[in-house]
Amino acid sequence: MFRGHKLITLLISLIGAVVLWLYVVTTIKPQTDFPVSSIPISISDSMLTERGLIITAQSPEILRLDLRTSRANVAKLNAETIRVVADASSVREPGEKNLPFVVTFPDTVRSGDVDILRKSVDTVTITVDRLQRATFPIELNWTGSMKEGFTPEVSESIIDPAEVVVDGPEKEVSRIAKVVVDYDVTDKVETETVSAPIRFLDEDGEELEFSELTSFSVTQTNLTLPILRIKEITLTLGFIEGDGVRNENAAFEITPKTIHVKGAASLIDSLSDTLELGQVKLADIPENYYENEYNVNNLLNPGVTNMGEETVKAVVRLSGVSTFMIDVSDIRLINKPDPINFDTIVTTPTVKLRLRGSTEQIQEIKKNKNNGLYVEVDLAAYSNQTGAFPVQGRVVKDSFDETYPSVSVSENVEVGVKIIQLVEIEEE
């Protein structure tokens, strides 16, 4: 009985205390002071973009307010319900600007019910820069060492897309000197297409970093870098024998002696190790020296590229070859006019023949006057003519070619012949 009475007394006391507290809060002391921290400060900057400007820094970004209001409003006031806005519409040039801000409370709290006792700052400082747009070509930056016999064909590389558009603060965009895509060619032996990130470099070649204020049209690109086969080819000349000059009498020198070519592996691997610049007619070399230039590029197959100079120089020198003019007085006339009625006289008793060929054999000819050469003149076309005529004679060599196989003789000579009529032929 006593214990139950005690519980009732405690309950009545508790209720009385609560009622007293409510009275004090709502009647005697209706307001309270309290802080609100980490309130974000936003900037109204819609006009800046139209003016080509952008905010690059803000200080501070959050605000602390010391407020006084009724305890009923305390729960309604916090960093999420209180708005702090600074108006940047008056800013027209880059630089640092101090802006006042406006504090707005939620609609559920009457503005006159809240007093701002203290602000952590009275203004917000912003840094404004010009907004810049720039377009940069994307360049290939290849690194590494190719395997022997292969080379990257940088001039034929394909980058897609080939450029990047950058939008952002001038102080960030203006630092860009070059945009590159990296490709390591180490141990590459065939062409491939890869997707790779692009990098932005300053004038010192250092990679740049950007704030979230800068945007890019692309951050990766597709790269195709042709990998070509290289081959060294020896240059040579071909000879056509003639006029007593044999292949063994000719020696050539080509500068440069070799060239390096490049192309697809299938094309290069099918090439010969030598490339003939041309065929030189040895008979056309008047002296013992010949020089000519050749355009190497014109001799290569489509798809094969010469990596060196376009033209090369070739020199041919002859050795063991001599030229000698020999007098031949053995001139034989055939098919002469009727000797009864005509007298035929050779007015060129001696003709000169040009010998060319082996120096050793020509020396023998000089010593041997009986060389077996004579000139045959056919007068069949002059049977009924009189007068002096230059007639083509044919050099007859008989056994000369067998005796001197490495010496050539001029084939035709001109012989003067005079035909005189002895008896006047009577007409019937």
Residues in the chain: 428
Question: Which range (16-20, 103-107, 275-279) has the least confidence?
Answer: 16-20
| pLDDT, the chain, mean | 90
Q: Tell me, what's the pLDDT at 398?
A: 81
List strand residue ranges (DSSP E) for 272-423, in order: 274-281, 289-295, 305-306, 311-318, 321-328, 331-334, 342-346, 351-358, 374-378, 387-396, 407-409, 412-421
Highest-confidence segment of 152-156, 217-221, 345-349: 217-221
Q: Tell me, what's the pLDDT at 28?
A: 46
200-219 pLDDT, tens digit each: 999 999 999 999 999 999 99
Q: Tell me, what's the pLDDT at 1?
A: 47
Q: Tell me, what's the pLDDT at 410?
A: 84
Domains of the chain, earliest start first: 29-121 (2.170.120.30), 131-225 (2.170.120.40), 230-319 (2.170.120.40), 322-421 (2.170.120.30)
Instruction: Give the pLDDT mean for 298-310.
Output: 92
Q: Is the per-residue pLDDT at 425 higher than 70?
A: no
Distance CA 164, CA 9 (A): 83
Q: Tell me, what's the pLDDT at 366?
A: 87
User: Which is nearest to 119 in space by CA: 185, 76, 174, 65?
Assistant: 65
Instruction: Give the pLDDT mean for 63-76.
Output: 94
376-394 pLDDT, tens digit each: 999 999 988 899 999 999 9
More confident residue, 17 or 42: 42
Classify residue 67 by burial, with Cβ atoms within 10 Å: 0-12, 13-18, 19+.
buried
Q: Tell me, what's the pLDDT at 46?
A: 85
- How far apart, in Å, are the Cα atoms of 420 and each of 14, 74, 200, 278? 174, 152, 103, 54
Question: Which range (51-60, 176-185, 418-427) has the least confidence?
Answer: 418-427
Contact between residue 365 and residue 324 where contact means Cβ atoms under 8 Å apart: yes
